A and B are shown apart, each in its own frame.
Chain A
Amino acid sequence: MPNANFLRSFSAPMRATSGGAAARRASFLTDWRQYVAYLGFALIFVFFSTTLFDKGFLDPNNLLNILRQTAMISIMSVGMTYVLAAGEIDLSIGMAAGLVSLVAAVTIDAYGSVAGVAAGIAVGALVGFANGVLTTRIGIPSFLTTLAMMGIARGAAMWMTQTKSVPILDDGFIWLFGGGNLGPVPILVLWTVVIAAVGHIVLRRTTFGRRVLATGGSEIAARYSGVDTRSIKMRVLIISSLTAAIAGMLYAGRLHSGRFQLGEGDELSVIAAAVLGGTSLFGGTGTVVGSIIGSLMIGVINNGLLLMGLEYSQQLIARGLIILIAVAISQSRRR
């Protein structure tokens, strides 16, 4: 640079060293808070391992069961991580999963499993596309768009079969979506691992992931930097609905049927999982691995409280308190 000499003569004495130490300390603290999910997960796991040792908490079957039960939440939390990181929210995923389970079941019955999967994915994409258009083109906040979509998806699912569940008899579908094992590994776990790995790499390593975080960090600054923020928001909402579609079909495969109730209320568990994992509700930060840990944490808590023999009402209270404490720590900011 031709002006380097000039600048050297002008700049004030370096203060970076002293200020740097403080900044490093601060960033260590914030980082530490982000890792609270991992720490909390470890703590809760150890706690249940010791207190529930004789009740079979550590039994491999019980652990695999936890993984199976949390798979759908984990998968949807990958999509939710993108949505939250981009500064939006998606409340429609739970109902979308239920709708997709029914669409898949009905289509499998009529045209076979390949068509069923295609129809399920298509419905998921359509819900996400509608969310995206309403949010980015018309400018309705995603909270409202997806809240409305939640009702529409549930209504459509109930209307489709007059609230009746539709059985799935296709063995291939049931194996691939939910029921099967690959060696000792449940196929649900494989789905989770694959989707989480792809989600993690795309968010951390690709231009798209960086732009998602930038959009959530400051939409205006991202736009001024040449990021097409509308397209980013559109895409994260479609990704979220696609993970909901996969979760819906996994529910269907696991229960051998499509039902409108499947996925009911999952949106809140999924958001809780992402937030537990250190993703900000206000955008700009988020890790897929954290969300998966958050989801497992919720699963372990549910399982442990059940094994402890608490009544359902007590489970609800205990779970709520644990989640509140963890979120309070992970979201607290330096003042």
Chain B
Amino acid sequence: MNSAALPAVAVRLAGVSKSFGGVRALENVDFEALPGEIHALLGENGAGKSTILKILNGVHAPDAGGVEINGAPLGEYTPDAARRAGIGMIFQEMSLAPTLTVAQNIFLNHELKGKFGFIDDAAAARRSLELFATLGVEIDPLARVSDLSAGQRQLTEIAKAISRDVRVLILDEPTTALSSGEVENLFAILRRLKSNGVAIIYVSHRMDEIARIADRATILRDGRRVITAPMSELTLDKIIEHIIGRRSRGFSDVARKAAARGAPLLEAKGISGLRKPEEVDLTLYAGEVVGLAGLLGSGRSALARILFGVEPKRAGEIRIKGVPVAIDSPRDAIAHGLVLVPEDRLRQGLILEHSVEANASLAILDRLASWSFVSRARAIDAVDRQIVGLRIRAASRDAAVRTLSGGNQQKVVVAKWLNAEPDIFVLDEPTAGVDIGSKAEIVALVRALAQRGKAVFVISSELSELLTAADRILVMADGRIVSETARAEFDDPVPSDDVAEQLNHAERQLSAIIQRAYARN
């Protein structure tokens, strides 16, 4: 791969503008990615990142300006032309056919042909093995994609991209579904591709990852480029400042008032699921936020689903306000004042084609109705109160939630439950796929819920978020709670003046606990 003379610039966008029906998505944007660099593309949802990706991927054509790939202007903007120019994209929502094998997916649409022009599956399997060998991973080319883990699927996507000899690899939120081991694996592969001269464009909301993997970053805001700089010149706070566009200290802005812990609202004893979790004891108090850390697959989400009655439990007892309760369905849970903001808001949290109003009123229809006739006035009133209170940005309450940004969609899920006035909130990865501005809003909202006397249970993979939100942090590994620590214990005994540095210190402490829990097994 290295032998060919590398062009100076792998991707160049010069003065690119793009509008959608009068809305400016990109305005005179310049962007360059070099061969052999990992270039992070940062910005809030709606800042223009996905428009750039779609132009590179041939889905949209720019209104003005041009794109050069390896020095040659891109003549037409079609997915096929982009592919021929050497651009490969790893999709956020994976683009593999689950019923086909790994090898069949890798060579989908450019199948290897044998004699007589028939598809040669054996050759495809051999070539797949070679591709995986260059990536340094082991995946069975004959396995069905539906049987693979999220990480293995991602690697298959990458193998699919490099099977076409990509010179530019685009990754859009590639780690959302990966465990930390798989993330390490991915990063190792990206570094290897980079050393082979591939230009990598990396889009992610996870600042820690970007800090680790990226060489340079371009930050977009409102369709314009704000800055392009080497990562060594960008601090986390500076990045956030550029992304949000005004002075901000990220999570460190969220006030941490010592919460007055009230009565126990939920007591769970010996909760075991069909597979995970194992004998979990959990007590949630009014006015307190409890955080649950742990790697993907540790049983955190299963615990949330059991509490909410979506998944059956094998053993254990749940008491709410001291009374033993049977929760066999979400209906039971809601009736007992326990609600879940689920992990996958697009599938579990929202009806995408329905309006903000329909979604936000779905859980409280009975309350909005008399004689089972829903009062439109009461529904509008309840929904508008949440739109204002949560600052949901939508065209109107009648807009389909599909049209909202990730952060605003998540707020609609929260709005649905706020109207139900529950006592216990369980939030599973509430800020996944949400831009940094909305992340801080959601974390602040979690604090506000506790201040209003709710018991809040937050599951998150982002440690800085947990440390900002929670009063007490549990760590789960392999289905068991392995540690419980008050938030204050994570603080540096000799605190630094820099709030961000304090958070960093706490994050290292918590990360160490999680790593130790896994090292023990």
Contact = CB atoms under 8 A, between A and B. Distances in A.
B182 interface: no
Given A11-B391, A228-B331, A23 B352 contact: no
Given A10-B444, A19-B23, A21-B22, A218 B395 contact: no
Contacts of B372: 206-208
A213 B354 CA distance: 9
A225 B363 contact: yes
Contact of B365 (A11, A15, A207, A221): A207
B373 A206 contact: yes
Contact of A218 (B20, B347, B366): B347
A52 interface: no
A7 B395 contact: no
B213 interface: no
Contacts of B331: 226-228
A5 B354 CA distance: 30
A22 B400 contact: no
B188 interface: no
A271 B79 CA distance: 37
Interface stretch (A24-32, A70-78, A142-150, A240-248): A24-32
B21 A25 contact: yes
A12 B244 contact: yes
Nearest to A282: B353
Contact of B330 (A24, A214, A223): A223
A146 B335 CA distance: 34
A224 to B, nearest CB: 5
A226 B444 contact: no
A20 B356 CA distance: 13
Interface string A219-235: 01111111110000000
A224 B347 CA distance: 10
A112 interface: no
Please report whether the interface of chain B is mostly helix, strand, loop or mixed according to DSSP. mixed
A217 interface: yes
Contacts of A4: 389
B164 to A, nearest CB: 25
A285 B351 CA distance: 11
Contacts of A3: 444-445, 447-448
Nearest to B330: A226
Contact of A210 (B365, B394, B398): B365
B334 A214 contact: no
A111 interface: no
B441 interface: yes
A26 B374 contact: no
Nearest to B439: A10
A225 B362 contact: yes
B41 to A, nearest CB: 18
Contact of B352 (A207, A218, A222): A218
A1 B449 CA distance: 10
B342 interface: yes
Contact of A7 (B334, B347, B348, B444): B444
B21 A22 contact: yes
Interface in A259-286: 284-285
Given A211-B365, A220-B347, A228-B329, A10 B253 contact: yes
Nearest to B403: A23
Contacts of A6: 253-255, 444
Given A12-B245, A220-B348, A7 B391 contact: yes
Contacts of B452: 2
B310 A223 contact: yes
Contacts of B416: 225
Interface string A25-47: 11100000000000000000000
B504 interface: no
A280 to B, nearest CB: 9
A245 to B, nearest CB: 24
B393 interface: yes
B330 A22 contact: no
Given A14-B393, A224-B330, A224-B340, A1 B374 contact: no
Contacts of A137: none
A16 interface: yes
B400 A27 contact: yes
A284 B362 CA distance: 13
Given A2-B448, A12-B244, A12-B437, A224 B349 contact: yes
A16 B350 contact: no
A210 B362 contact: yes
A211 B351 CA distance: 12
Interface in A148-180: none
B374 to A, nearest CB: 6
B159 to A, nearest CB: 30
A259 to B, nearest CB: 39
Contact of A27 (B23, B363, B398): B398
A6 B347 CA distance: 30
Nearest to B362: A225
B96 interface: no
Nearest to A218: B351
Contacts of B358: 210, 213-214
Contact of A16 (B20, B44, B394, B400): B394
Contact of B393 (A15, A217, A222, A284): A15
B437 A15 contact: no
Interface in B250-282: 253-255
B399 interface: yes
Contacts of A26: 403
B440 interface: yes
B373 A205 contact: yes
Contacts of A332: none
B369 interface: yes
Interface in B215-259: 222, 244-245, 248, 253-255
B304 to A, nearest CB: 11
B451 interface: yes
A220 B344 CA distance: 11
A222 B366 CA distance: 14
Interface in A179-233: 205-208, 210-211, 213-214, 217-218, 220-228
A4 B329 CA distance: 33
Contact of B23 (A8, A22, A214): A22
B80 to A, nearest CB: 18
A250 to B, nearest CB: 28
Interface string A53-91: 000000000000000000000000000000000000000
A18 interface: yes
Nearest to B45: A12
Contacts of B400: 23, 27
A251 B84 CA distance: 63
Contacts of A20: 394-396, 399
Given A22-B20, A205-B374, A214 B394 contact: no
Please give me the 10 A-B residue pairs with the lowest Cβ-Cβ distance, nearest first: A20-B395, A217-B351, A3-B448, A23-B395, A207-B365, A226-B334, A218-B351, A225-B362, A226-B331, A1-B389
Interface of A: 1-4, 6-16, 18-27, 205-208, 210-211, 213-214, 217-218, 220-228, 284-285
21 contacts: A6-B255, A7-B445, A10-B253, A11-B391, A12-B244, A18-B23, A20-B395, A205-B373, A207-B369, A207-B372, A211-B362, A213-B354, A214-B354, A214-B358, A220-B347, A223-B310, A224-B308, A224-B340, A226-B335, A284-B351, A284-B353
Given A2-B448, A4-B389, A207-B372, 5 more contacts: A9-B253, A214-B358, A225-B362, A226-B330, A228-B329
